[in-house]
């Protein structure tokens, strides 16, 4: 294929392809392009089943094959290269390449198999079960990926291409041996903003805010079903196996006909279903049997097995009950899984309910426990150090802390009001200059002098709010636009050091302080990020994952 490489090099020398140093192999045609495609002998195939047109870095349309359904299958490349040699093709412009392309498409175009894991309750162990199945299939040589049609989580991650998906899907993709998860694995993400309001993220980008009724009455029967169908079909074409995860219970009879996260999604994917039950909670047999019986017969037939999960002690004691459950439910118990300590990020703040702290290290880190705390997986590295985390819900909880963190939040204004009403803001002001105080994302916005929500974009009620005043910063929430980006940064204080993180926030901040980080860019000049007042021990940044 030297001729193809030479052709690409010639194009670069003529300036037809812009440089992209993010790619370890070769300059790319457009932002985020995997340079593997520069050497695809069919490029540009212009087959809309496999790719689409996108805007190049020069502003002109170029062919985008980052979601190509053929090139991601390893056996396709082996077949194509073998056929090129056997057919005596020496130039990618040979007319026989079109025939070879169609032959490859017919040979490898197929739908993968789907398996769905549902839970009798929340926290049944669905996520870990999906990750385990992905790992097993990956080790057996299959191309496998996780999929969750609709996830509700405030712990999210930014993909390589700048899309926002739930954190757990990125971890499951790692178990599947995939380096670069994408939005197809979690096409709909719900991020609660209040008791009855969520931001709906579609295909990794903010779509709209919905109340519960509006979501089920308008979004689900409208774009929701179509989005799930399109993405589950895409995943099945791209992978040998798609391991799907349900949400909550699949037997919520009050919304059953509008539930696109469980049995409806299984139907779209023609998936076999496995029901997981958390035995540790007690009442597991009732949960399992009740779930099976509440599901309509046409969907119940998809349930091929039950897994009794999280069994403490000997599993022998539960096997008699498992046999009775099989008889009553008409579904075999295919697994009894013992309790294992697993440290994975939680999906939402329910995991923190009733938890006063974590760890037993020497250094006590106070973390303000916002009602709408988000991306609290930022704290996970602290649990690996000589530190203990104390969740702060009152001024008294700040006693004896060695440092304080104001974490991210899904509603900066509402949680700031809560913090002031609880007296925590006064406690923080009393600690200023005595212990380090770090704000991350929403917490960083609160540390400024002003939060301008004049149009009610953040809180739903227009207003301009005075912040903690730790920094001479002004944050403005003026449009429904979210900053979503991965960042590589250099710490500008102390001994320096490199940090990799990601931004995920609404609002823009006008900074009047010295910066904490310098963001490196592959193209263009670097820029400063964050705020710092070392003499007052105050630090702020938008970078999640900075630890």
**Active-site annotation, residues:** 441, 544
- Count CB-CB contacts under 10 A for residue 74: 10
Separation between Cα atoms, residue 172 and residue 150, nearest integer Å: 15
181 within 8 A of 509, measured Cβ to Cβ = no
Residues in Cβ contact with 46 at an 8 Å cutoff, skipping those fewer than 6 apart:
63
Query: Tokens 């709408």 — which residue?
Result: 372
Q: How far is CA 164 from CA 201, 213, 502, in A?
A: 8, 24, 10
Burial (0-12, 13-18, 19+ Cβ within 10 Å), 117: buried
Q: b/e map of 355-373 (b: 16 or more CB within 10 Å)? A: eebbbeeeebbbbbbbbbb
Q: What are phi and psi of 520, to 5 degrees?
A: -85, 145
* 3-state DSSP assignment of residue 409: strand
Separation between Cα atoms, residue 22 and residue 186, nearest integer Å: 25
* 3-state DSSP assignment of residue 506: strand
Residues in Cβ contact with 130 at an 8 Å cutoff, skipping those fewer than 6 apart:
117, 146, 172, 243, 244, 245
Rg (CA), the chain: 26
Separation between Cα atoms, residue 127 and residue 119, nearest integer Å: 10
Query: Tokens 């002998």 — which residue?
Result: 41
Look up residue 56 and give its two tokens: 């190049």
- What is the maximum span of the chain, computed from C-alpha positions, in angstroms? 79
Separation between Cα atoms, residue 147 and residue 225, nearest integer Å: 15
- Count CB-CB contacts under 10 A for residue 435: 17
Extended beta strands in 324-402, E state: 333-338, 357-358, 363-368, 373-374, 387-392
Q: How many residues does the chain have?
A: 547
> Residue 164: which of 192, 213, 201 has the closest Cα?
201
468 within 8 A of 442, measured Cβ to Cβ = no
């Amino acid at each position: 294929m030297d001729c193809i490489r030479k052709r690409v090099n010639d194009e670069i020398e003529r300036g037809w392809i812009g440089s992209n140093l993010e790619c370890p192999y070769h300059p790319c045609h457009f932002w985020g392009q995997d340079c593997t495609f520069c050497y695809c002998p069919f490029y540009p195939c212009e087959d809309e089943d496999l790719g689409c047109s996108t805007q190049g870095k020069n502003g002109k349309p170029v062919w985008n094959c980052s979601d190509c359904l053929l090139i991601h299958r390893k056996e396709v490349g082996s077949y194509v290269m073998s056929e090129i040699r056997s057919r005596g093709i020496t130039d990618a412009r040979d007319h026989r390449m079109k025939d070879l392309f169609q032959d490859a498409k017919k040979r490898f175009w197929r739908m993968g198999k789907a398996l769905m894991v549902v839970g009798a309750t929340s926290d049944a162990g669905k996520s870990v079960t999906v990750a385990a199945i992905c790992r097993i299939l990956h080790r057996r040589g299959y191309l496998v990926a996780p999929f969750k049609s609709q996830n509700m989580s405030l712990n999210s991650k930014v993909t390589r291409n700048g899309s926002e998906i739930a954190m757990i899907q990125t971890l499951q993709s790692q178990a599947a041996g995939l380096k670069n998860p994408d939005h197809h694995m979690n096409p709909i993400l719900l991020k609660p903003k209040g008791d009855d309001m969520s931001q709906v993220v579609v295909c990794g980008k903010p779509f709209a805010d919905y109340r519960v009724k509006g979501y089920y009455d308008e979004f689900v029967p409208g774009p929701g079903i179509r989005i799930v169908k399109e993405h589950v079909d895409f995943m099945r074409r791209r992978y040998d196996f798609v391991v799907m995860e349900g949400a909550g219970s699949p037997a919520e009879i009050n919304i059953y006909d509008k539930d696109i996260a469980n049995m409806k999604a299984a139907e779209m994917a023609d998936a076999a279903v496995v029901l997981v039950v958390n035995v540790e909670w007690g009442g597991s047999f009732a949960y399992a049997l009740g779930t099976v019986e509440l599901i309509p017969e046409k969907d119940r037939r998809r349930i091929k097995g039950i897994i009794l999960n999280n069994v403490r002690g000997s599993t022998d004691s539960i096997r008699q009950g498992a046999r009775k459950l099989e008889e009553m439910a008409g579904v075999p118990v295919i697994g009894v899984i013992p309790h294992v300590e697993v440290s994975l990020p939680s999906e939402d703040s329910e995991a923190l309910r009733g938890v006063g702290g974590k760890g037993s290290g020497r250094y006590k880190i106070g973390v303000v426990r916002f009602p709408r705390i988000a991306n609290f997986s930022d704290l996970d590295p602290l649990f690996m150090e000589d530190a203990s985390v104390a969740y702060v819900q009152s001024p008294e909880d700040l006693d004896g802390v060695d440092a304080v963190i104001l974490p991210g939040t899904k509603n900066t204004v509402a949680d700031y009001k809560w913090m002031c009403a609880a007296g925590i803001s006064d406690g923080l002001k009393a600690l200023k200059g005595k212990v380090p105080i770090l704000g991350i994302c929403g917490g960083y916005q609160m540390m400024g002098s002003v939060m301008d929500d004049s149009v009610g974009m953040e809180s739903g009620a227009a207003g301009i709010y005075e912040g903690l005043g730790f920094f001479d910063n002004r944050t403005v929430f003026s449009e429904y636009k979210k900053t979503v980006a991965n960042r590589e940064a250099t710490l500008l204080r102390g001994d320096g050091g490199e940090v990799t993180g990601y931004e995920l926030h609404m609002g823009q901040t006008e900074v009047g302080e010295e910066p904490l980080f310098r963001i490196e860019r592959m193209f263009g000049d670097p820029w400063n990020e964050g705020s710092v007042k070392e003499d007052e021990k105050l630090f702020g940044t938008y970078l999640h994952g900075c630890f």
